[in-house]
Amino acid sequence: MSTNKIAWLTDIHLNFIKNDARNKFYQSISKTDADAILITGDIAEATDLCEILSEFSTQTKMPIYFVLGNHDYYSGSVANVRERILKLCAENINLIWLGKPEIIPLNDHTVLVGHDGWADGRYGDFDHSTVTLNDSRLIAELFQAFLLNKKSLKNEMQRLADVDAKTLEQTLTQAININIKKIIIATHVPPFPECSLHKGKQSDPNWLPYFSSKATGDVISVFAQKNPAISILVLCGHTHSNALFKPSKNLEIKAGRAQYYSPKLQEIIDI
């Protein structure tokens, strides 16, 4: 069965709102004419992520494709959250974590792929940045590195980003077949500075190291250049700021706007 319309959501942080508000949100998504849901990360936090995804699935009964954002790992570790997510998805065919990795044929000409992606400190000025995100307190792998020193934190951010980018690169290569005309890539962190915005302007060098993933962007740029006949739409979040960036004819990146306590539909994507 082909998918015609996808409800794109990002940074919904459902752990911040009460049951009633969550149920209202699920119903609002069910009422759209979408056949499936795509979430580009920051769904909840490690302690309630699986419970909230199950609840979302039970209430909507639609396929939910998702990648995880940094918040989804808060109060947990990357390794443990992924282990639990793989188990959850194995038990519920309507929950599909794209980082497994999965290649989802949406119709004869379009596929969906993705990975969580991590900010990698390669854009902006990491060494002089005064920013400290909760990531380095609340995600076990980053906390352990942060305790050593800032250089170790950067190394760990880059290790996580590079692992996901490499997996995405392999998934993209495997996704190509003779009929493919369009690929939708879901990721959490904006892959280019031009789509990492704050109040309508590009994030400054202080924030950019934590709000962009050069590792992911480089993989996507090379893939777009090598495959000019394939149209690529990248969907991301993380900055909570709308952005639209078209670096080349076949590549478009959209970042979604979000507000804590007020989850919303970004848009219905026509496949």
Exposed / middle / buried, residue 252 (Cβ in 10 Å: 0-12, 13-18, 19+):
middle
Q: Give least dist CB 119 to Fe ion, A.
A: 9
Neighbouring CB atoms inside 10 A of 151's CB total 11
* Shortest CB 144 distance to Fe ion, Å: 20
Task: Note whether 94 binds Fe ion by CB under 5 A.
Answer: no
- Residue (224 or 238) nearer to Fe ion, CB: 238
Among 238, 253, 254, 269, binds Fe ion (CB under 5 A): 238
- Smallest gap from Cβ 233 to Fe ion, in A, equals 20
Residues 27-46 that bind Fe ion (CB under 5 A): 42
Token pair of 222 as six digits: 């090379």
Of 63 and 256, which CB lies nearer to Fe ion in the complex structure?
256
Q: Match 């952005």 to its residue by tokens.
A: 243
Q: CB 42 → Fe ion: shortest distance, Å? A: 4
Among 13, 40, 57, 69, indicate the residue that binds Fe ion (CB under 5 A). 69
- For 199, residues 6+ apart whose C-beta sits below 8 A from its C-beta are 241
- Identify the CA nearest to 116 among candidates 67, 153, 167, 58: 67
Residue count, binding to Fe ion (CB under 5 A): 4
Among 15, 40, 57, 70, binds Fe ion (CB under 5 A): 70
Residue 86 CB, nearest approach to Fe ion (Å): 21
Nearer to Fe ion, 82 or 238 (CB): 238
Q: Taking contact as CB under 5 A, which single stretch among the options 144-152, 195-203, 231-239, 256-264 is the one that binds Fe ion? A: 231-239
Angle at 259 between CA 210 and CA 103, to 5 degrees: 65
CA–CA gap between residue 175 and residue 242 (Å, rounded): 28
Task: Determine contact, residues 203/239, Cβ cutoff 8 Å.
Answer: yes
Binding mask 131-160 for Fe ion (x = CB under 5 A): ------------------------------
Contact 258, 197 (CB under 8 A): no
Please report how close the Cβ of residue 118 comes to Fe ion at its closest, in angstroms. 10
Kind and range of the H or E run holding 146: helix 140-148
Backbone torsions φ then ψ of 123, nearest 5 degrees: -100, 155
Contact set with Fe ion (CB under 5 A): 42, 69-70, 238
